[in-house]
Amino acid sequence: MARKRLITAVNDALVAEMERDEKLIVFGEDVELAIMGDTRGLVGRFGRDRVRNSPICEQTLTGMAVGLASAGYRVVLHLMFNNFIYTGMDAIGNQMAKLRLMTGGQMELPITVIAGYGGGNSNAAQHSDTAYPALMNLGGLRVAVPTNSADAKGLFTTAVRGRTPTFFLEAAGRGGEMGEVPDGEHLVPFGQADVLREGDDVTVVAIGTMVKPTLRAAKALADDGISAEVIDPRTLVPLDEDTILGSVAKTGRLVVVDEARDRCSAASQIAAVVADRGFASLRAPVRRVTVPDVALPYARNAEAALIPSPERIADAVRHVTQKQFA
Amino acid sequence: MARKRLITAVNDALVAEMERDEKLIVFGEDVELAIMGDTRGLVGRFGRDRVRNSPICEQTLTGMAVGLASAGYRVVLHLMFNNFIYTGMDAIGNQMAKLRLMTGGQMELPITVIAGYGGGNSNAAQHSDTAYPALMNLGGLRVAVPTNSADAKGLFTTAVRGRTPTFFLEAAGRGGEMGEVPDGEHLVPFGQADVLREGDDVTVVAIGTMVKPTLRAAKALADDGISAEVIDPRTLVPLDEDTILGSVAKTGRLVVVDEARDRCSAASQIAAVVADRGFASLRAPVRRVTVPDVALPYARNAEAALIPSPERIADAVRHVTQKQFA
Amino acid sequence: MATPGTDVRGHTAVTDLDLYERMLLIRRAEERLIVACTDGSLPGGVHLYIGEEAVAVGACAVMTDDDFVTSTHRGHGHFLAKGGDLDAMFAEIWGRATGICKGMGGSMHVADVSKGILGANGIVGAGFAIATGAAWGAKLAGQGRVATCFFGDGAANQGSFMESMNVSAAWDLPTVFVCEDNGVSEFTVTSTVSGGPLVERARAFMPATVVDGNDVHAVRDAVGEAVERARAGGGPSYVEATTYRIRGHLEAEQHMLGGGTYRTDDDIAAWQADDKDPIARLATRLLAEGTCPREDLDAIDAAVRNRVEAAVAFAEASPPADPELAHTIMFGPA
Amino acid sequence: MATPGTDVRGHTAVTDLDLYERMLLIRRAEERLIVACTDGSLPGGVHLYIGEEAVAVGACAVMTDDDFVTSTHRGHGHFLAKGGDLDAMFAEIWGRATGICKGMGGSMHVADVSKGILGANGIVGAGFAIATGAAWGAKLAGQGRVATCFFGDGAANQGSFMESMNVSAAWDLPTVFVCEDNGVSEFTVTSTVSGGPLVERARAFMPATVVDGNDVHAVRDAVGEAVERARAGGGPSYVEATTYRIRGHLEAEQHMLGGGTYRTDDDIAAWQADDKDPIARLATRLLAEGTCPREDLDAIDAAVRNRVEAAVAFAEASPPADPELAHTIMFGPA
Ligand SMILES: Cc1ncc(C[n+]2csc(CCOP(=O)(O)OP(=O)(O)O)c2C)c(N)n1
Ligand SMILES: Cc1ncc(C[n+]2csc(CCOP(=O)(O)OP(=O)(O)O)c2C)c(N)n1
Ligand SMILES: [Mg+2]
Ligand SMILES: [Mg+2]
């Protein structure tokens, strides 16, 4: 165990996987000097054949990942920000997500795409989207949203060793906190949620960046005698529905916290699943705490007003734990 | 009133709007000879300045729409198939959906994008996506999914006269049925659902292409004594939540039918809204009848197995109207 | 069907009779698809390559199974020319379980990864990036493989064309860009939506040449030169093959035209004439050179027709696609 | 500040002193942003244009408020050169309600549609298509307007560059492509990821030329020619201006470099020298020509500095952005 920033944990995992598999290639804009830090030092260690700055051309980068994988390589493509997923969306939506099925299973695509998501840094709307809902809807793509350093290492390793295109989404700027990371090989399986805090009154599913404000809210609620169970799904595709449903069976209440815009969000998906499969347990409305359906503004106060805060999360929990729903 | 195919109704609306506003421009690949039929005859009537075949370059076409609108024009961009929305996604997600906010309201973008969606024609996965969930999540875009000729005319006219980028999605190949269309000017406001069939036992929200199989299911269910209220939302952004909630208040049950893949679908969004705001009325689980999270296969039997059928819809309704949920 | 060897120029030798047979196989197979399309045997539409056979056959004549190709929506010719199996292709187009993609892809998506055929593709321009990625892999592997991207004159307006040429040039990748310039993109005459000659776009990045795309030897030689350069580490090249699409954009296009036209019957007839048609031209040459007598050509034709009918029989006797596959393949091993 | 007129070449005349003042305004404004960035006054990051002022100022000198420009993530220079208001820009960067975009956009998104400034843009390459669309609008309107797209050497690898040149060329649009070739894209030396000289890409579509981007007259004349051609219906042009970014990709880039480097201090120093710096060069020339004495230049500088401080004061005295706007603007009139 050692304390590391999330980004360093990913870097460690990358080094280990590159040593393990010489067919693992890393590319993207500025991966050599590593704007984000997660690919830092790799080019010096593994050479420019395997770690390569690309031109700025996301549309082609995502398609190249498909071609490179078809040629027998394992690929890590760094796309920097979630908004640039839109720029490279064509090959993501039309090729990566579909070719395995369309070729009758001939084409396996061991591709991991890294991109930062989320707001909170006054980066304005073109650098602060949370794009996983669109990815989740495409089918055929896995989506991981690590919230701490250990999971980052474990999920990243699992992603890279997989055979299905996977988006590994890093909290842009706000996920760089320190955390304990297991030494040596560490894998976290996809589709296994983590119960971060046990509780009896309400289940709060918090995705990615939303874990931290949710834990803060849970603490404040505990002072008020409300016991919240906080679940971090860790991966959105596949989604560990059973852990969530099991928790709701106990608490009877659900709040989902998501930094995506509300419409067709991961929060909506989780709410919908529980409203179906967990209906019998539900004793209160299912609340979503999400970003309103707008672009994030630049000004700090205007941006902050839109991103779920501990206060908004606590309010939602208070709403669903009211006496009337007892 | 006259009976017309949906595509003809759109064509009529386009002609009328082009006559009404000489700043309305139509462009896209093959809009002159009009592969889809909706832009047929326009170039002969209005000339190549206003109706223009474009090169194949969706990424730039969507951005050009933004530039042309900024220069004071009203724009109709034809993107042919929903899958090509991914190709042009950059300017859709990063510009169209955001510039109004980002410029502090300086930029209004009266843009209507037309594209066909959905499967059922053995067009295979790259020509059969239903992409509205991604569009709905972007914020700042309106989405219309007309299901009959009259609404097509009315919604299209409203879309074109609006000031916000709007996606007007046509059922590819399966929405060309005949229907009565009002003569002369006909506008259907956005955000007003249509109750296609009244019922007491269950509310079924059916989106776009799913209206037809849902009405068929409703008929079969009626024979079994189950009375289904069928609602066509007509626009997904804005969504007429009140009509849906009002219906669920009466029936206590909800099934949502959507040709999108399940995860983060419009169905999930509607289910989530009702699980929150309509919870007090709900007496049964909320079911979604959607396409599984896979790419649509080519072979007719394999494709048909995935698209919601009257049987699957009826089964879902039977499930939520079981005695145990009475 | 052909036995590969090595010719004087160092690439895999394919005899003129092999070229003839391959072009004819594509032609007869697609003529049969017209029938199948008309009689309702096929679940989906087909985009036919008739008239352009010399491009795929000439280009693939200088490749082996280890080389990669990316194809287009009009991909039957590339599939067959690169050694794809006709039975498996027809079964695919018929939507059967025995199809090369198990019925999941269909006409617009025939792929045989084992033969380097990375797939026909329904997204115009998608092949640029996929070929470039495969070419990068080929270069990394260091075994002299190349990746060839077939694409149309319409696709050349997609930005990924420039992006991919740029990557290929900057990184010296063994990518060969083969433009099938048939003058049209669906129902648009491409020159009405294109600025300047396409070949100039490529010249900014790499050696670029224009050849008569209906002369199978001209295509083979030009692509052969490009492939040799790529194998030798000389980087990417561009070959533009001028050709013509005889059939509609897709079969039964007249239903989509609403009475409009984008070309004349005279144009089509001119390109179908014996002095233009790639197969007739090779036949004339073979006969003139005395390489083989008319009877041999006829015998090849008869054998090809039998082969095609056998493929139809195979497809029609095959079971329908397995609907479960959509789940098991899509959600197969993580 | 300058009084426009018409010079012998037919474009709006801007005096050399005007050019000097405009470049200096950009320089001093951005120098002030360095301070603000360091002292924590700004909510977000800034990408500075210092060293490249001659490109925006030279190019915009031949335009009027009716012409369109699209800008980049490095957009302060284009905004000010095209006549955007400094107070409103600073207030925007400070995140205030009085900002040109009401605090919703920030540094990377300053736009003033009333002056044809269609916005700085955070998406590299986004301007190509927007400018092309605006140019189409300009052509349809028939009033001789032009649309100029400023973009970097890194952006020139985005496919939309080719797509937009193609549309502009095929449709004879009044688009002017102005490439700011500063040799770097973030921390990547652009030549390491580019195939061949950029100007050749443009030559395939339109008249294309390379100029000294630190010589404001050279830029003005080259863009002036392009603009005149465009206004006269002669279609698009490409002007490549060689220049250099003195500051980091964004302020405080060293935090993102982890000790690595992508250029040397010597390089930077060389481009900062008086014989390279665009402002010093114009000063030298004005003094040599005797156009004005050193005191006048100093007076301009003093006035510009006052103007900048006034803008800071305006921004800092302004109320914060209105958070409600996110809802009312976004969901304003349908
Ligand atoms: C991204 C995308 N845009 C549009 C289409 C529709 N489309 C299919 S084929 C085609 C024309 C292609 O022309 P070209 O590349 O010249 O190929 P050809 O059909 O002439 O062989 C178009 C526009 C598509 N399939 N994909
Ligand atoms: C689509 C997209 N990809 C990547 C980025 C990240 N990015 C911002 S600036 C930049 C480099 C741009 O280089 P260039 O166009 O030369 O402009 P310069 O910064 O040199 O002025 C990159 C890669 C982005 N903002 N948008
Ligand atoms: Mg063509
Ligand atoms: Mg640059």
- B153 with B94, same domain: the answer is yes
- A34 with A127, same domain: the answer is yes
- B68 with B119, same domain: the answer is yes
Angle, helices D53-60 vs D278-289, to 10°: value is 60
Q: Looking at the partner chain, which of B55, B65, B190 has a beta carbon nearest the beta carbon of D167? A: B55
The position carrying tokens 């046509």 is: B170
**A269–B285 C-beta distance less than 8 A:** no
**Residue C185 Cα, ligand 3 centroid: separation in angstroms?**
4
Q: Looking at the partner chain, which of B124, B301, B306 has a beta carbon nearest the beta carbon of C109? A: B124
Chain B residues whose C-beta is within 8 A of a chain D C-beta are: 25, 49, 52, 54-55, 57, 59-73, 90-91, 94-95, 99-107, 139-140, 142, 158, 162-164, 190
Q: Please, where are the H alpha helices in B40-112?
A: 42-46, 58-70, 83-87, 89-91, 99-102
Which percentage of chain D shows pLDDT scores above 70?
96
Amino acid occupying residue B145: V
pLDDT score of C4 more than 50: no
Which percentage of chain A shows pLDDT scores above 70?
98
- Which pLDDT band, with edges at 50, 70 and 90, does D1 fall under? very low
Here the CATH number for the domain that contains residue C184 is 3.40.50.970
Q: Is residue B188 assigned to a domain? A: no
SS3 A197: strand
- Give the model's pLDDT for residue B325: 86
Per-residue pLDDT tens digits for C290-307: 989 999 999 999 999 999
Residue B182 to residue B192: CA distance in whole angstroms: 18
Q: Is residue B293 assigned to a domain? A: yes
* Final residue belonging to a domain, choices B181, B203, B222: B181
Mean of pLDDT over chain D: 95
Q: Is residue B187 assigned to a domain? A: no
Average of pLDDT values for D239-246?
98
One-character DSSP codes across A13-65: HHHHHHHH-TTEEEEETTTTTTSSSTTTTHHHHH-TTTEEE--S-HHHHHHHH
Mean of pLDDT over chain B: 96
Ligand 1, atom 6: closest residue by C-alpha:
C124
**Residue A123 Cα, ligand 4 centroid: separation in angstroms?**
20
Reading the block at residue B171, the tokens are 């059922």
Kindly provide the b/e burial profile for residues B61-91, where b requires at least 16 CB atoms within 10 angstroms of the residue's own CB.
bbbbbbbbbbbebbbbbbbbbbbbbbbbbbb
* Final residue belonging to a domain, choices B181, B212, B229: B181
- B251 with B123, same domain: the answer is no
Give yes or no for a contact between B17 and B26, defined as CB atoms under 8 angstroms apart: no
Among candidate residues D146, A108, A179, A316, the one with its CA nearest the CA of residue C111: A108
Residue D111 to residue D105: CA distance in whole angstroms: 9
B96 Cβ contact partners less than 8 Å away, ≥ 6 residues apart: B62, B65, B66, B109, B111, B140, B141, B165
Q: Looking at the partner chain, which of C44, C124, C323 has a beta carbon nearest the beta carbon of B124? A: C44
**Residue D73 Cα, ligand 2 centroid: separation in angstroms?**
7
Q: Is residue D321 assigned to a domain? A: no
To 10 degrees, the CA torsion angle through C175, C176, C182, C186?
A: -10
DSSP letter at A140 equals: S
Q: Please, where are the H alpha helices in A37-148?
A: 42-46, 58-70, 83-87, 89-91, 99-102, 132-137
- A175 with A287, same domain: the answer is no
- B117 with B173, same domain: the answer is yes
Give yes or no for a contact between D210 and D199, defined as CB atoms under 8 angstroms apart: yes
Reading the block at residue D84, the tokens are 């955007």
Here the CATH number for the domain that contains residue A40 is 3.40.50.970
Per-residue pLDDT tens digits for C201-241: 999 999 999 999 999 999 999 999 999 999 999 999 999 99
Per-residue pLDDT tens digits for D254-283: 888 888 999 999 999 999 999 999 999 999
pLDDT score of D2 more than 80: no
The position carrying tokens 């494709």 is: B303
Per-residue pLDDT tens digits for B227-243: 999 999 999 999 999 99
pLDDT score of C9 more than 90: no
- Which pLDDT band, with edges at 50, 70 and 90, does C11 fall under? very low
Give yes or no for a contact between B204 and B231, defined as CB atoms under 8 angstroms apart: yes
What residues of chain C lie within 8 A of the CB of D203, using their CB?
A: 200, 204
- How close does chain C come to D266, measured CA to CA in Å? 27
pLDDT score of D5 more than 70: no
- Give the model's pLDDT for residue D8: 37
**C109–A101 C-beta distance less than 8 A:** no
Give yes or no for a contact between D26 and D306, defined as CB atoms under 8 angstroms apart: no
- How close does chain D come to B175, measured CA to CA in Å? 26
Q: Looking at the partner chain, which of C124, C155, C323 has a beta carbon nearest the beta carbon of B302? A: C323
Q: Is residue D320 assigned to a domain? A: no
- Give the model's pLDDT for residue A322: 94
**A274–B137 C-beta distance less than 8 A:** no
Of ligand 2's listed atoms, the one at least distance from the Cα of D249 is 19
In D52-206, the DSSP E strands lie at: 68-70, 147-152, 175-181, 184-185, 188-189
Which percentage of chain D shows pLDDT scores above 90?
91
Q: Prior bond to D320 cis, omega within 30?
A: no
- A30 with A90, same domain: the answer is yes
Domain that holds residue B68: 2-181
Q: Is residue A186 assigned to a domain? A: no
Q: Is B319 a known active-site residue?
A: no
- A162 with A199, same domain: the answer is no
Neighbours of chain A (3+ CB pairs under 8 A): B, C, D
pLDDT score of C90 more than 50: yes
- A175 with A217, same domain: the answer is no
Domain that holds residue D191: 16-313
Q: Is residue C330 assigned to a domain? A: no
Instruction: Give the largest Cα separation in chain D, rounded.
Output: 59
Q: Is residue C181 assigned to a domain? A: yes
Neighbours of chain B (3+ CB pairs under 8 A): A, C, D
Among candidate residues C244, C248, C250, C251, the one with its CA nearest the CA of residue C262: C248
- Give the model's pLDDT for residue B172: 66
- Give the model's pLDDT for residue D254: 87
Domain count, chain A: 2
**Residue C187 Cα, ligand 3 centroid: separation in angstroms?**
10
SS3 A212: helix
Q: Is residue A56 assigned to a domain? A: yes
Give yes or no for a contact between C99 and A104, defined as CB atoms under 8 angstroms apart: yes
Kindly provide the b/e burial profile for residues B186-195, where b requires at least 16 CB atoms within 10 angstroms of the residue's own CB.
bebebbebbe
The position carrying tokens 């305006």 is: D314
Reading the block at residue D267, the tokens are 């390089």
Q: Is residue C1 assigned to a domain? A: no
Which of A27, A33, A56, A82 to mutate for ligand 2's pocket (most ligand atoms within 8 Å of CB)? A56
- A155 with A214, same domain: the answer is no
- A155 with A301, same domain: the answer is no
Kindly provide the b/e burial profile for residues A2-30, where b requires at least 16 CB atoms within 10 angstroms of the residue's own CB.
eebbbbbbbbbbbbbbbeeeebbbbbbbb
SS3 D212: strand
What residues of chain B lie within 8 A of the CB of A101, using their CB?
A: 125, 294-295, 297
- Give the model's pLDDT for residue C291: 84
- Give the model's pLDDT for residue D333: 73
Domain count, chain C: 1
Q: Looking at the partner chain, which of D95, D187, D322 has a beta carbon nearest the beta carbon of A122? A: D95
Q: Is residue A188 assigned to a domain? A: no
Which chain B residue is nearest to residue C160, measuring alpha carbons? B57
Which of D177, D179, D186 to mutate for ligand 2's pocket (most ligand atoms within 8 Å of CB)? D186
C-alpha torsion sign, points D276, D278, D280, D285: positive
Q: Is residue C62 assigned to a domain? A: yes
**Stretches in chain B below the pLDDT threshold 50:** none
Which chain C residue is nearest to residue A110, measuring alpha carbons? C334
- Give the model's pLDDT for residue B194: 98
D154: exposed, middle or buried (Cβ count in 10 Å: 0-12, 13-18, 19+): buried
Ligand 2, atom 19: closest residue by C-alpha:
D185
> B119 touching A, CB under 8 A?
no
**Stretches in chain A below the pLDDT threshold 70:** 172-176
C295 Cβ contact partners less than 8 Å away, ≥ 6 residues apart: none
Q: Is residue C238 assigned to a domain? A: yes
SS (H, E, C) chain C: CCCCEECCCCCEECCHHHHHHHHHHHHHHHHHHHHHHHCCCCCCCCCCCCCCHHHHHHHHCCCCCCCEEECCCCCHHHHHHCCCCHHHHHHHHCCECCCCCCCCCCHHHCCEHHHCECCCCCCCCHHHHHHHHHHHHHHHHCCCCCEEEEEECCHHHCHHHHHHHHHHHHCCCCEEEEEEECCEECCEEHHHHCCCCHHHHHHCCCCEEEEECCCHHHHHHHHHHHHHHHHCCCCCEEEEEECCCCCCCCCCCHHHHCCCCCCCHHHHHHHHCCCCCHHHHHHHHHHHHCCCCHHHHHHHHHHHHHHHHHHHHHHHHCCECCCCHHHHHHCCCC
What residues of chain C lie within 8 A of the CB of A95, using their CB?
A: 121, 123, 126, 130
**Residue D275 Cα, ligand 3 centroid: separation in angstroms?**
52
> C162 touching D, CB under 8 A?
yes
Here the CATH number for the domain that contains residue B204 is 3.40.50.920
Q: Is residue A316 assigned to a domain? A: yes
Q: Is residue D330 assigned to a domain? A: no
- Which pLDDT band, with edges at 50, 70 and 90, does C156 fall under? very high
Per-residue pLDDT tens digits for A70-118: 999 999 999 999 999 999 999 999 999 999 999 999 999 999 999 999 9
The position carrying tokens 């299901």 is: B147
ipTM of the complex: 0.98
Give yes or no for a contact between B255 and B202, defined as CB atoms under 8 angstroms apart: yes
How many residues can be counted in chain D? 334
Chain D residues whose C-beta is within 8 A of a chain A C-beta are: 43-45, 92, 95-96, 99, 101, 103-106, 108-109, 121-125, 154-155, 157-159, 185-188, 192-194, 256-258, 260, 262, 320-323, 325-327, 330-331
Amino acid occupying residue B304: A
Task: Count CB atoms within 10 A of the CB of residue B224.
Answer: 11
Give yes or no for a contact between C52 and C245, defined as CB atoms under 8 angstroms apart: yes
Strand order of the β-sheet with C208-212 is: C68-70, C147-152, C175-181, C237-242, C208-212
- Give the model's pLDDT for residue C330: 84
Q: Is residue B16 assigned to a domain? A: yes
**A34–D323 C-beta distance less than 8 A:** no
- C-alpha angle with apex C329: C324 to C333, nearest 5 degrees? 130
Which of D108, D124, D184, D247 to mutate for ligand 2's pocket (most ligand atoms within 8 Å of CB)? D124
pLDDT score of C191 more than 90: yes
- A151 with A242, same domain: the answer is no
